[in-house]
Amino acid sequence: MKASSRKQRLIAEINITPFTDVILVLLIIFMITTPLIIQSSIKVSLPNAVSAKPNSDARSQVSISVTNENLLYVDNDLVTRKELRQKIKLLHDENAGIEVILFSDKLVRFKDIVAILDILNELGIKKLNIAAKQD
């Protein structure tokens, strides 16, 4: 009878250790993948350059992408040349030190690139980089 009188009580506590482990793993995954999300999802075949350097601070940057089909994108938004001028002007008015990175497919005609550079020069953009793959 002694054995039956010593019934074990059911422990009704919630163990949050596995939950905490899952949250920490998700946090690490998001920390690793966030810089990859910032990169443009527009497919552009960049030209090669020996002096190419990795991208630095993305907070004060705007990216302009020109595809092989001569489509213009400003930060993944499809725009026309007129809208490009307006959007860059608005961003430049908000932040005079904005940096523009031009992602151009290597098959885009040079006159199309010069037209974009001319727009940026008219707007007074001082910080301009042209993206390239490192050799």
Note the pLDDT tens digit of each residue in 39-55: 556 666 556 665 555 55
Distance CA 84, CA 96 (A): 17
- Residue 130 host element (H or E): strand 127-130
Give yes or no: residues 65 and 33 share one domain. Answer: no
Residue-range definition of the domain harbouring residue 15: 2-38
Find the mean pLDDT for residues 57-81: 83
pLDDT score of 71 more than 60: yes
- The strand ranges marked E within 3-118 are 48-49, 61-66, 72-74, 77-79, 99-104
Supply the pTM of this predicted model: 0.58
Give yes or no: residues 70 and 34 share one domain. Answer: no
**Dihedral sign, CA of 62, 67, 69, 70?**
positive
Neighbouring C-alpha atoms within 13 Å toward the C-beta of 80: 2
Give yes or no: residues 81 and 120 share one domain. Answer: yes
Give yes or no: residues 24 and 60 share one domain. Answer: no
Find the mean pLDDT for residues 82-91: 90
Q: Which two tokens stand for residue 49?
A: 């350059």
Give yes or no: residues 79 and 17 share one domain. Answer: no
The CATH number of whichever domain residue 84 belongs to comes to: 3.30.420.270
Find the mean pLDDT for residues 56-82: 82
Give yes or no: residues 130 and 112 share one domain. Answer: yes
Give yes or no: residues 23 and 59 share one domain. Answer: no
Q: Which two tokens stand for residue 134?
A: 């490192």
16 assigned to some structural domain: yes
Segment 25-41, tens digit of pLDDT: 999 998 887 766 655 56
Q: Which residue has the higher pLDDT, 36 or 78?
A: 78
Give yes or no: residues 22 and 54 share one domain. Answer: no
Find the mean pLDDT for residues 90-103: 87
Give yes or no: residues 10 and 58 share one domain. Answer: no
pLDDT at 14: 80
Query: Residue 73 forms beta bridges with which residues?
Result: 65, 78
65 assigned to some structural domain: yes
Count how many domains the chain has: 2
